[in-house]
Amino acid sequence: MNKEDRNKREEYIKNIVSNLPDSPGCYQYLNENGVIIYVGKAKNLKRRVSSYFNKEQQTLKTKLLVSKIADIKYVVVNSEADALLLENNLIKQHKPRYNVLLKDDKTYPSICITKEYFPKIFKTRKIIKERGRYFGPYTNSGALNALLELTKELFPLRTCNLNITPEGVRHGKYSPCLEYQIKNCCAPCIGKISKDDYCKYIDEVIAILKGDIKILQEKLLGEMKEKAANLEFEAAAEIKKRYQLIENFRTRSEVVSASMNNIDVFNIESDEKSAFINFLHITNGCINQAFTIEYQKKLDENDAELISMGIVELRERFNSNAKEIILPFPIELPLEGVTITIPQKGEKARLLALSRLNVKQYKADRLKQEDKLNPEQKNTRLMKEIQEMLNLDKLPMKIECFDNSNIQGSDAVAACVVFQKLKPSKKEYRKFNIKSVAGPDDYASMREVVGRRYRRCIEEGEGLPDLIIADGGKGQMEAIREVIEDELGLKIKIAGLVKDGKHRTTELIVGDNGETVGLKQNTTLFRLMTQIQDEVHRFAITFHRNKRSKRQTASELDSIKGIGEKSKQALLQHFKSVKRIKEASMEELAAVVGKAKANIILESINEKQEN
């Protein structure tokens, strides 16, 4: 698009925006192909749409969206509530590129009660409103099956596919099936139950599905007492059996006070890419709906905007008409007759905490699934977390960690381990013998090792790390900083790993002031830092042990010129000790290493004895 075309388009858009009404409604942005790329709602269309073209307020993502707008359409509605509902429908219909994407589009099963003369109840995924009344959907198949099993035990309703009519029943058109014989069906097809009595069963099923269990129990209790008063003990016993079945079911599902009725609870967990919204519906103290959806962000949507969309979507999906909504923070929700509660304590606060627990667990599960499918994504996310925590300029693609090892200054060594994209790069590990430091001076040792490491990196053109970690506190960090910044003039972030009294990694130290960053146990970041610290410690201590072991196993044979490592090993393997080698004869030595070397060994031993 040339400059002239761009100016024409800007003038066209400006003209539309200037003529927008100051009314609630929905607006649609279209690209040059006439495709809807964004749908939004507004309390005031003119003010809201104008804000997109205010360059001072634009984010990078908004600038990208605005650059694609070629036309604007809008729909004026009566209220902000209508705008909210219309926006939800338009987004689902057109799936615009720059709107949040609802990732959950699965079809969950519902329970249908048909509109037949003698209704039946069954599970289905296909919603045909003319067919009957639907309850659900149920995201937990176990809960749905438990409800169906309960209704089957309580009420002997028909399960057949017969098209039963009053005329057919009167004329004996039908015959009873096996379900009637085993007492699972009340046989309405042959007139064993009246239409009114059968519909009483259906009404009680509806009460259970709506969560009105307490009301149903009170009704059954009254009937049971009435039958018992009339000495109809068998009928009273049948009602008692149904009452106890319902009581057992209610006990399993009750989580709060039974006085809490018809309440929706929502909570949200979000990051820069996604938002997860949990929904709980409470009826008579029982949770009869629980569900979590995921939105994929496209612009810079905040939690208030996202949870508003989630409320509309989930209430519509689950046919909720609750007059009270419990939320973690206040939002503008233009739903008439609905009260928003932000509880601080009590049972409602516990419900909000339960919703938060569910949404956090759902998010963790989704992240685990994604990590299994794409391990690189997990590492990138973790590097981003480290970048934000330590205020790095870029992702820590390369991390190097140093550790010293010595026993009171003897056999002093150091080690450097390298992690590329948070994975050990063992070919880049380095060992160092301490050369210029006498005695146990860890700080001087660290300065020597770091200087040798990075001077060589600079000379050989090897890539420098994005983060250097010292296995120690402020002193070790300062020793590294003196070399990196003061001597070499490099700008590399330095951090220190600190352990507690039980030698467990507990925190990171960063910055010149030694600010501490706590590491929460059992998190991925905690495990990574523990892995880095354990790896550098293992590498350093192994090198130190090997060096100490070589020194301790050195023998008099090492000082004999002409006796190499293989000969020494052969002699020790045969004679088992230096003492036995000294006591051996020429013939015994020659049998192992030959006459010439045997002669050299004997001359060296005799010379030392004389001295």
Stretch 446-460: mean pLDDT: 91
Q: Is the pLDDT of residue 145 over 70?
A: yes
Q: How far apart are CA 591 and CA 147, in angstroms?
A: 90
CATH class of 556-610: mainly alpha
Q: Sorting pLDDT into bands at 50, 70 and 90, what band is 402?
A: very high
Nearest partner of 41 among 77, 69, 17, judged by Cα:
77
- Out of 154-158, 449-453, 481-485, least confident range: 154-158
CB neighbours of residue 472 within 10 Å: 21
Q: Which CA distances in Å does 342 have to 276, 282, 299, 325, 548? A: 19, 16, 27, 9, 65
Q: Tell me, what's the pLDDT at 408?
A: 61
pLDDT at residue 466 greater than cutoff 80: yes
How much is the pLDDT for 450? 92
Domain 263-370, CATH: 3.30.420
**Confidence at residue 119, expressed as pLDDT on a 0 to 100 scale:** 92
Right CATH for 3-99 from 3.40.1440.10, 3.40.605.10, 3.20.20.70, 3.40.50.261? 3.40.1440.10
- Counting DSSP H helices and E strands in the chain, the numbers are 20, 20
Spatial distance between the Cα atoms of 78 and 566, rounded to a whole number of angstroms: 97
Tell whether domain 384-550 is in CATH 3.30.420.340: yes
Lowest mean pLDDT among 232-246, 291-305, 312-326: 232-246
Mean pLDDT of all residues in 223-251:
77
Q: At what angle do helices 233-253 and 213-229 cross, to 10 degrees?
A: 160
| Pair 155, 201: CB distance under 8 Å | yes
Residue 267 clears pLDDT 90, i.e. is over it = yes
Is the pLDDT reported for residue 530 higher than 60? yes
Contact between residue 191 and residue 198 where contact means Cβ atoms under 8 Å apart = no
Q: Give the integer Cα–Cα distance in Å for 191 and 169.
A: 6
Which pLDDT band holds residue 364 (cuts at 50, 70, 90)? confident
Give strand pairing partners of 276.
Answer: 269, 294
pLDDT at position 276: 92
pLDDT, tens digit (0-9, with 9 covering 90-100), for 537-583:
899 888 888 877 666 555 566 667 777 778 877 887 888 777 788 88
Worst-scoring range by mean pLDDT, 26-30, 446-450, 570-574?
570-574
- Per DSSP, 556 falls in state G
Mean predicted lDDT score pLDDT of the chain: 83
pLDDT of amino acid 53: 84
Distance CA 379, CA 390 (A): 16
Please state the rounded mean pLDDT for residues 328-334.
89
Dihedral over alpha carbons 318, 321, 323, 329 (to 10 degrees): 30
Q: At what angle do helices 233-253 and 141-154 cross, to 10 degrees?
A: 170
376 versus 393: which is more confidently predicted?
393
Mean pLDDT within 379-385: 84
- Pairing relationship of beta strands 467-470 and 398-407 according to DSSP bridges: parallel
Reading the block at residue 600, the tokens are 């050299």
**Average pLDDT value for residue range 293-304:** 87
pLDDT of residue 251 exceeding 70, the answer is no
Determine contact, residues 145/249, Cβ cutoff 8 Å: no
Taking the C-alpha atoms of residue 174 and residue 176, their distance in angstroms, rounded to an integer, is: 7
Residue 336 has pLDDT above 70, yes or no: yes
- Which amino acid, 300? D
The predicted-structure confidence for 490-515, as pLDDT tens digits, reads as follows 889 898 887 766 666 777 888 766 67
Answer whether 3-99 and 263-370 agree in fold: no
CB of 519 closer than 8 Å to CB of 508:
yes
- Specify the pairing of strand 324-326 against strand 263-270: parallel
Task: Name the band, by pLDDT with cuts 50, 70 and 90, for residue 254.
Answer: very low
Say yes or no to pLDDT of 260 above 60. yes
Low-confidence winner among 53-62, 149-158, 328-337 (lowest mean pLDDT)? 53-62
Lowest mean pLDDT among 87-96, 412-421, 557-566: 557-566
Estimate to the nearest angstrom the gap between the alpha carbon of 486 and the chain centroid. Answer: 42
Give 238 or 179, the one with higher predicted confidence: 179
Beta bridge partners of 566: none
Higher pLDDT, 393 or 300: 393
- Tokens for 300? 């810079």
Q: Which pLDDT belongs to residue 57?
A: 62
Mean pLDDT of 65-74: 89
Q: Answer whether residue 354 shows pLDDT above 60.
A: yes
Domain boundaries, the chain: 3-99, 110-253, 263-370, 384-550, 556-610
Confidence of residue 424 (pLDDT cuts 50, 70, 90): very high
Predicted confidence at residue 328, as pLDDT, reads 93
Q: What is the pLDDT of residues 173-218, one digit of tens each?
A: 888 888 888 888 988 998 888 999 899 889 888 887 776 666 677 7
The residue ranges of DSSP E strands in 108-214, in sequence order, are 110-114, 121-124, 132-135
Confidence of residue 259 (pLDDT cuts 50, 70, 90): low
> For position 258, what pLDDT does the model report?
58
